[in-house]
Amino acid sequence: MVTKDGWPGHDRWERLRRRLSGPLIRPGEAGYDVARQGFMTLYDRRPAAVARCLRVEDVQACVEFAAECGLPVSARSGGHGYVGYSTVDNGLVVDLSRMDTVRVRGYGRAEIGAGARLGPIYATLGRAGRLLPGGTCAAVGIGGLTLGGGIGVVARKYGLTCDHLESARLVTADGRARTVSAESEPDLLWALRGGGGGNFGIVTSFTFGTARAPRLSTFELKFPPASMATLLDIWPRWQHGMPDELWTNCGLHGDGRIVTGGCFAGPVERLRPMVDDLVRRMGAEPLERTEAERDYLATMTYYAGCADLAGSACAPSWNGGGGAIGRGTYVAASRMLRRPFTDPGEVARLLTSDPALYTIIDGFGGAIAEVGPGESAFAHRDALASIQVLRDVAPGPGGKAAARRAVGLVRDGLGEDVGTTGYVNYLDPEMPDWANAYYGRSLPRLRALARRYDPDRVFAFPQGLD
């Protein structure tokens, strides 16, 4: 039955429970307070139930149930992501974290469950001598990463994660399990390549093409605080002029500390002259300089900061993950760097306006820019870089509000300088004009597809396509 207020009654929940091969966990039941956890502490919710799905049929049952009952529904892979607020109170969470198989097949194709995280993915691919571009945080889930684009440390050479997506299994609002590929549902494949997660259905698995894994070289430079404006001035043009094999980024702390580094697809002997060139342009010797050459698996392990990518030290501590990676306690926002900074000194002042701020600038160009708009929904191919602004929330009253003010000041100030676009995988609930910021010229086509495949907006959520 459905109760008078429109919400499913106990008997309906029990019928859903019997259809699932994994547990359905409701408020008051053992494990609920663990099962409802996402990565971000700021967006903790109290869903009506969490369904730990083990197979595609479980996901279909959940979607059909939510559609019949008019219940909010959202997917969660269990990884490190910013989209916790898309899960509203009293909704149904479709937890995919147990659907995490990673297999490498013939011709280097990787079949990956939507609940898999980057640590185990890199470990499996590395042992097979294969590479899939992606981020550095081992607890990031493959689902959100791919569906929003997928920025990574070899992206200038190999493109975004979504550029390697060949096909996916997707449960749409009508409960159908569809195979999405260039031959079957090509419009959906376009949308899943960077059109944002949660808008068209629930992906249960991905098939990627991979590349042969080369040896990689990394570097890191630390400069004094007085060098920040100089780095902001020269870095965008310097990165743009480097070969595609070199990806670099900047980590800028609100207290003035500066770290810039990168990853080069080649031997360290070829990397050093490029680093020398950056140092010359800076006009100051770095406080520290390190360089190293490793194989692909060792490089991704280095970036993750743990000895075993598939071990507990690289696993989430939330949602029953049993690992050592803590939950996120910060607010965040983003901008895309579409042109060099107009006033690097003013930007440096902005980024140091609060000592608790931390800004990450990741280089674009190369293979990212070579993909045409007809091949993917990712709208920022022409950007020079992405900018991510973070600030921890201090304990006590007003902590969240103060953090939001500090981040919003930087986000809006950067918008005046470099443009008002942003990266959908760094979702910000206060992003001005968020739809155009995240999706740009892809927005009309994405909205049309959402209306076609989900006319009743079963998958509606804040900052979801309407």
Which tokens go with 79? 């990884």
Which residues, given as ranges, of the chain have pLDDT below 70?
1-6, 83-88
Q: How many domains does one find in the chain?
A: 3
Q: Does residue 322 belong to any structural domain of this protein? A: no
Which domain CATH number covers 122?
3.30.465.10
CATH code of the domain covering residue 403: 3.40.462.20
Kindly give the interhelix angle for 296-304 and 118-127, rounded to the nearest 10 degrees: 160
Let me know whether 334 and 416 are in one domain: yes
Per-residue pLDDT tens over the stretch 388-416: 999 999 887 789 999 999 999 999 999 99
Per-residue DSSP letter, 71: -
Residue 422 CA: distances (Å) to CA of 159, 303, 437, 438: 18, 24, 5, 5
Q: Are 272 and 354 in the same domain?
A: yes
352 and 285 assigned to the same domain: yes
- Regarding whether 370 and 239 lie in a shared domain, the answer is yes
Q: What's the CA gap between 221 and 204, in Å, rounded?
A: 40
Calculate the alpha carbon distances from 391 to 196, 411, 422 in Å.
Answer: 24, 12, 17
- Which pLDDT score is estimated for 3? 46
C-alpha 172/C-alpha 238 separation (Å) is 44
Q: What is the pLDDT of residue 7?
A: 72
Tokens 């001035």 -> residue: 233
Distance of alpha carbon 104 from alpha carbon 122, whole angstroms:
11
Give the per-residue pLDDT at 78: 82
- Say how far apart CA 208 and CA 165 lie, in whole Å: 5
| Closest C-alpha to 198, from 336, 111, 93, 333 | 93
Dihedral (Cα; 411, 413, 418, 423), 10-degree rounding: 10
* pTM for this model (two decimals): 0.96
Q: Are residues 374 and 423 in the same domain?
A: yes
Q: How big is the CA angle at 233 (ends 228 and 237), to the nearest 5 degrees?
A: 130
> Do 191 and 277 belong to one domain?
no
Q: Is the dihedral of CA 394, 397, 403, 409 positive or negative?
A: negative
Please report the pLDDT score of residue 43 as a whole number: 85
Contact by Cβ (8 Å): 384, 236: yes
Last residue of a domain, one of 95, 119, 144: 95
Residues 207 and 221 in one domain: no
**Are 234 and 164 members of one domain?**
no
Asked if 79 and 174 sit in the same domain, the reply is: no
Q: Domain range for residue 74? A: 10-95
Is 465 within a domain?
no
